[in-house]
Amino acid sequence: MKYQLLKVHGSGNTFYLYDSLYENELDWVRLTKWLCDPNNHEGADGLLLVLPSEKADAKMRVINADGSEASMCGNGLRCVARYICEKLNVDSAIIETMKANLTVRKEAPIFESLPTYAVEISPVSFDLQTLPMHYEHKTEIKNQLLPAFSDEILFTAVSVPNPHLIGIVDKQYIEDVSHQQKLAAYLNGDNEYFPDGVNVSYVLPISESEIFVRTYERGVGFTNACGTAMTASALIAKLYDYVNVPKIKVYNPGGFVQCQVEANENSYQLSLIGNATVLGNYEIDNDLHILGCFMTDEQLQYEKCNIFVKEKLGNLI
């Protein structure tokens, strides 16, 4: 039996994408771990499964590189959005995810002719039970010092619906990743605060409309970008006046996105806007052999975008 997969990325967050008619067609954990092995065609961050849905135009499941399953993935959802919109020949669609049915749509390019899609990020909750997180009997943590984690960094805990710990930091914490590495590795191991682990992002405000985000992603480690983390970071930056515009440019080690943030009391409408790039087409067999691959030239356009980002950020990445 032969299987056709795409290799795709959003903001440098790389995935294989497979369209299946059946939830249990293959051993997804085994397949994902093999596909994501860095020694195997440079690996990937996870596998995006596109499945039939009774509630929406399609269903997305996200298997992380370590075999765990994520409830959502913003960068991956953009790639699925493009795949479904092109498959159905539409400009917008509804995608079922683990926690919500989300609206996706084709957008004008954010850079030259870069294929660009916007995806809804929802639901949003600051209730620590939704992450889950346990910290001194608190029910919420919003822009606060947490001495157990740092004496300097203001943290916010939020689920969107993936669990995130967002720290607003000075430039030194972006240039030297050791503090973030140590904290994130601890919080994703055996610890008293996050029984299921957490995505840890350090956020540097750059201007009234721009931030930089570096994320240690649960089940992955440091990643070029995490879509829900960038959106959550944009929300926190907007809520606590680190930026003052509704559409925020978010830079990351893999490029940049735009995050639309609308906040009214406890109601939040969030959109993640960025590239959905197809790197190539792959064919594999039952014995997990790659039989062939055909690479596209779309990455050339994205690399031009990366040059722009590197000139903007200098030594941050």
Give residue-wise pLDDT tens across range 92-109: 999 999 999 999 999 999
Q: Are 93 and 167 members of one domain? A: no
Give residue-wise pLDDT tens across range 153-196: 999 999 999 999 999 999 999 999 999 999 999 999 999 999 99
Q: Are 161 and 241 members of one domain? A: yes
Confidence (pLDDT) at 190: 96
Q: What percent of the chain has pLDDT over 70?
A: 99
Confidence (pLDDT) at 183: 98
Number of structural domains the chain divides into: 2
Q: Quick check: is 226 catalytic?
A: yes
Q: Are 288 and 157 members of one domain? A: no
The contacts of residue 251 (CB under 8 Å, 6+ apart) are 206, 210, 211, 212, 213, 309, 312, 313, 316
Q: Are 77 and 157 members of one domain? A: no
Given 234, 250, 270, the domain boundary residue is 270
Give CA–CA dist 75/12, Å, rounded: 9
- CATH classification of the domain holding 194: 3.10.310.10
Give residue-wise pLDDT tens across range 37-89: 998 889 999 999 999 999 999 999 999 999 999 989 999 999 999 999 999 99
Give CA–CA dist 114/212, Å, rounded: 21
Q: Which of 73, 79, 85, 305 is catalytic?
A: 73
Confidence of residue 263 (pLDDT cuts 50, 70, 90): confident
Residue type, 310: K
Q: Are 106 and 217 members of one domain? A: no
Confidence (pLDDT) at 93: 98
Q: Are 141 and 266 members of one domain? A: yes
Q: Are 70 and 168 members of one domain? A: no
Q: Are 33 and 111 members of one domain? A: yes
DSSP calls for 241-302 = TS---SEEEEEETTEEEEEEEEEETTEEEEEEEEE-EEEEEEEEETT--EEEEEE-SHHHHH
- With H, G, I as helix, E, B as strand and everything else as coil, classify residue 76: helix
Q: Are 255 and 152 members of one domain? A: yes
| Residue 1 scores a pLDDT above 70 | yes
Give CA–CA dist 278/87, Å, rounded: 14
Confidence of residue 317 (pLDDT cuts 50, 70, 90): low
DSSP calls for 23-56 = TTSS-HHHHHHHHT-TTTTT--SEEEEEE--SSS
Q: Quick check: is 85 catalytic?
A: no
Confidence (pLDDT) at 241: 96
- As beta bridge partners, residue 102 has 95
Q: Are 133 and 264 members of one domain? A: yes
Q: Are 185 and 214 members of one domain? A: yes
Give residue-wise pLDDT tens across range 186-232: 999 999 999 999 999 999 999 999 999 999 999 889 988 899 999 99
Give CA–CA dist 50/93, Å, rounded: 13
Q: Which of 36, 79, 85, 226 is catalytic?
A: 226
Given 238, 255, 270, the domain boundary residue is 270
Are 248 and 256 in contact by the 8 Å Cβ rule? The answer is no
| Residue 287 scores a pLDDT above 90 | no
| Residue 282 scores a pLDDT above 90 | yes
Are 262 and 269 in contact by the 8 Å Cβ rule? The answer is yes
Question: Residue 86 has which token pair?
Answer: 């092109």
pTM value is: 0.93
Residue-range definition of the domain harbouring residue 73: 2-120+275-316
Q: Are 69 and 165 members of one domain? A: no
Q: Measured on CA atoms in the order 194, 213, 170, 176, is the torsion positive or negative?
A: positive
Confidence (pLDDT) at 266: 79
Confidence (pLDDT) at 62: 97
Helices (H), 36-147: 74-88
Q: Measured at the alpha carbon of residue 258, what is the angle toward residues 12 and 255, in degrees to the nearest 5?
A: 25
- As beta bridge partners, residue 69 has 63
